[in-house]
Structure 1
Amino acid sequence: MYHVRFLKVPYSKCLQHSQKSDSSKRSSTKLYSGKPVTARKPNDGLKSSSASPCRISFVVTLTTDLGESFFYGNATLSVNLIARRQSSSKAIDVTRTNVQWKTGMRALPIDLEVSVRQIDRIMKNGRMDVRFYVHVAPSTDNKYQNGNDICAHTTGDPLPALLPVTSMGFWFSGSEKPCALKDTIQHAIKYDGANYRYVVRDIPIGTTTLKLLEETGESIARHLWDSGILLCNFLMASKQNNDVFMRQLTGSSKQMNVLELGSGCGTVGLTLSKVFRQSHIVLTDLESARNVCERNIALNCTRSGSGANGQIEFSIFNWDSSKNTAEENAKVFDAKWDLVIASDCTYNVDSFDMLTDVLLRVVSQRTKLLLVHKERHGSEARVFDLLKEKNKLQSQWRQQLEPASARSTADILVRMGSMNQ
């Protein structure tokens, strides 16, 4: 799959300044540049007496999940500016347009124009708290060729060849220093806190949808990966069909203790909480992934605390256990796990020894180990050789995940002799 990504999140290039001023409504926030400024709250009025356009600018790219290659082909992208009032869940379609991604592109600058008067009308002349969102998705007119075919997962429903993206909500307000010579005021768009760093993905998982936050920066841990998305759909379909894969994975257990290593945004862990509803699920990753993972748990799961219906939680854990606190190590090493999952954790050869050492410490006779990986290079097979050499773990079940073009494979590994072959 290819992912639509923001290289620059939406910001405003041109906005009429409002002469209204109310110092009691000023607050501190951060803009796209990350620079703290003095800004007004969302109900600031805009100068609706002018029909001058507000130009909302941003830059997108189309890349693979790890960002190692760009979409090489032509594609039509549908770009939509929508608004939602805080008092209503109904979306208002503000403006929509199509743009063209052409073969050889690495980035695509996009400008949306909407009149200040229209924005002010939606905001009821500043009386309504309104958030605006930019949504970029593949147009239904696309006919992908040359290996960029529409992806299909195991339920038969299509996954888009280009994964759509939505900006976090922003609002419009006036500026402290209107430009005297030009009709241009920078930083007229405001974000809540550090939300400019994130985007929203709606990921179809079987018959449901996960709403996931993802970081716009270069971090690996806070992005979505193809293998995780494909695994989630595979697990959901396997659960619904109660097929051989699911029976091998769970055995007779209904309440399982589940550990995920390298959870990132939490895509797989959140799906596990829907597949194994009565289980205790612990998602682990570095401190840098905590914020996005915990926010995604809050967005998608109401059972983050203890209870009869299971629980899901995030815990900091470094594969180099010497860098963890005693409590962090105990959380992982002292528990008895029925299922341990690591999805797309084999891209870095330098981490193989640490990863396999951790896996072998958390795997017991009762544990199923599910490794999911996208084959980016041949050296990834070394992980399985190490597991077999160190503690005689072998693959009991191997499943190629769809689509085949994503080169994603799921392996269940067990201790030799612990189960009937």
Structure 2
Amino acid sequence: MHYIRYLKPPIVLVRPGSVLLKSIVTITTDLGETFYPDDLDLVATLRGPDDDGDIYLRRRVKWPANARSLPINFDLSRQEIDWPACVHIAAKAPNGGRGGCAKTLGFLPEVVDIWSGVLNPTSGQFDSGRRVERRFTSLAERTLSVLEDAGDSIARHLWDGSQALAQHIDQTISLQMPSSPLPLLEYVLVSATYRRLHAIELGCGCGSVGISLAQSIPDCDVLLTDLPEVTELVEANIARMNPAIASQVHFQSLDWQQPLDERLRTRTNDLIIVSECTYNTDTLAALITTLVNLVTRSPKAVIVLATKTRHESESAFFPLARNAGLISAGSTRLPLPGLPGHGYADAATDVGLHVFHGREHRLSLSPRGGSEEDVGVRVAGNSGQRTGARRPRSRENHGV
């Protein structure tokens, strides 16, 4: 899986006798360690910012095999453009279609396209800025718009594990998997169709997983957490989201090295999301302490962990979690599309998805397609212990 990135976002240069739009892109893996290795046809368009915005200029460019960067320029001289506009760059559709302009369902395309920020030279906005946009379309055909930072730093970018988890959740909610490899996770997600879901995401990055969840499930309360430096970016993504009815998302800064504040100590969660947070082994102990504190407050909470294995030392998470009383309730591998990278931290071809719960976990509602007794049997088959199930309560009894 590769991402088109702006190394230098679009800028309009006005010179005597010419008006030029210039940018430089690369195509790289999520951590930017290796580059797209083959020839690839790209389509660059100068267009209105909306999905169905007018296309003013369009050109085909070729990414050459083994390249590290590629300039993409437009000559705007004597062109009629209805500003504001942005630059969209996508891999050319293999069937000769509209060159990446048509929507592709899912969060895992082989090559992720990119939208620049808005340009409007008529009002003095000649630079599109360092903030760029990714757009994904869920199976329910709801667009997820996620801002990230331009450049080749790994900070404040989308990572494969988050996108794989977002797609798995989308498929589960849309009932696209006839037999879920993670029945406990399926239980939590599908039961949210008739009760309020409270979810918290640790190390949310850009916020793509939690926001996509709130766009898919009505009456969903999601709290995104990460270090303070991502506050502006995450809040900008929350502001542009299209939530399902009665769903809401908030952000709160959280350092795992610090004690939980009052809001987190008193919050009850049904789902705890951890995506791409195990790569830094120096923080594993603090992460597990935070998880234990959260499930102590919320014994019914289910933890879902998604990670693309970057190095073998990440596996230290699992014995640490087991020793801390977190019980495994199953795992699966989610394949990544397209070509893998070949450098450090890039060679993995899939994402590991793991589900945990605390010692006091008990089921209270049954998922689709089975009785309450079936739930206990299915979950017990994964976790190694039988889990009790109680009769579902009405929404009124949940206080919703």
Contact preservation (8 Å) 1:294, 1:314? yes
Deviation at 1:417, TM superposition (A): 6.9
2:273 corresponds to which residue?
Answer: 341
Which of 295, 305, 308 aligns to 1:363? It is 295
Counterpart in the other structure of 1:27: none
- Residue 206 (str. 1) matches residue 167 (str. 2): no
Fraction of identical pairs, as percent: 28
Cα distance in 1 for partners of 2:234, 2:122 equals: 31
Q: SS at 2:204's partner residue?
A: coil
Q: 1:220 to 1:249 in 2, by over 3 A?
A: farther
Q: TM-score, structure 1 length as denominator?
A: 0.73
Q: Which letter maps to 1:137?
A: A
Alignment CA distance shift 1:157-1:232 (3 Å): closer
**Residue 72 in 1 paired to residue 37 in 2?**
yes
Question: Which amino acid in 2 is paired with 1:61?
Answer: T
- Name which one, 1 or 2, has greater alpha-carbon Rg: 1
Between the two proteins, the alignment pairs up a number of residues equal to: 337
SS of equivalent to 1:196 = coil
Q: Deviations over 1:202-248 (max 9, x none)?
A: 11222322011111145544211111112112111111218643543
What residue in structure 2 maps to residue 223 of structure 1? Answer: 157
Q: 1:171 aligns with which of 120, 129, 143?
A: 120
Matching residue of 2:110: 161
What is the alpha-carbon distance in structure 1 between the residues aligned to residue 134 and residue 191 of structure 2?
34
**Counterpart pick for 2:319 among 385, 393, 402:** 385
How many angstroms does 1:65 deviate by? Answer: 1.0
1:153-189 Cα distance to aligned partner (Å, 9 max, x none): xx98694311000101111149xxxxxxxxxxxxx75
The aligned counterpart of 1:81 is 46
Residue by residue over 1:60-105, the C-alpha shift from the partner in whole angstroms, topping out at 9 and shown as x without a partner, is 0011112122111111111111146xxx996232211111112221
Residue aligned with 2:300, SS: coil
- Residue 13 of structure 1: CA displacement? 3.5
Root mean square deviation, CA, Å: 2.8
* CA distance in 2: counterparts of 1:90 and 1:378, whole angstroms: 45
- Is 1:197–2:130 an aligned residue pair? yes
Q: Is the partner of 2:313 in helix, strand or coil? A: helix
Pairing partner for 2:327 from 379, 391, 394: 394
**Structure 1 residue 12 displacement after superposition:** 2.7
Superposition pairs of residues 296-315 of structure 1, within 5 angstroms? 296-301=237-242, 309-315=246-252
**Which of 156, 162, 174 is the matching residue for 1:240?**
174
| Residue 283 of structure 1: aligned partner | 224
Aligned to 2:19: 54
| Residue 135 (str. 1) matches residue 88 (str. 2) | yes
Q: C-alpha displacement at 1:416, in angstroms?
A: 4.5
Measured in 1, the distance between the counterparts of 2:188 and 2:306 equals 13
Contact residue 221 and residue 289 of structure 1 kept, 8 A: no
Q: CA deviation at 1:118?
A: 2.0
Q: Give, in whole Å, the separation in 1 of the partners of 2:75 and 2:291.
A: 53
CA shift at 1:249, angstroms? 3.1
Q: Which residue of structure 2 aligns with residue 118 of structure 1?
A: 79
Partner of 2:384: none
**Structure 2 Cα separation of the partners of residues 206 and 168 of structure 1:** 26
> Aligned residue for 1:320?
257
Report the Cα distance in structure 2 between the residues aligned to 1:131 and 1:263, rounded to whole angstroms: 31
Give, in whole Å, the separation in 1 of the partners of 2:302 and 2:90: 38
Query: Are the structure 2 counterparts of residues 111 and 316 from structure 1 closer, same or farther at C-alpha, using a change threshold of 3 Å?
Result: same
Unaligned runs of 5+ in 2: 97-103, 341-348, 363-375, 381-400
Residue in 2 that maps onto 1:413: 356
Contact 2:6 2:150 in 1 (8 A): yes
Distance 2:29 2:85 in 1: 27
Question: Which amino acid letter does the alignment assign opposite residue 136 of structure 1?
Answer: I
Partner of 2:196: 255
- Structure 1 portions without partners, runs of 5+: 17-51, 124-129, 144-154, 175-187, 323-327
1:327-379 deviations in whole A, cap 9, x for unaligned? Answer: x7222233222211111111111111111111111113211111111112222
Letter in 2 for 1:248: Y
Of 266, 272, 275, the match for 2:213: 272
Where in structure 2 are the equivalents of 1:96-115 lying within 5 Å?
Answer: 96-115=58-77
CA contact (8 A) 2:331 2:352 kept: yes
Point out the structure with the larger strand share: 1
Counterpart in the other structure of 1:33: none
Quick check: 1:6 aligned with 2:3?
no
Equivalents in 2 of 1:156, 1:55: separation in Å?
Answer: 34
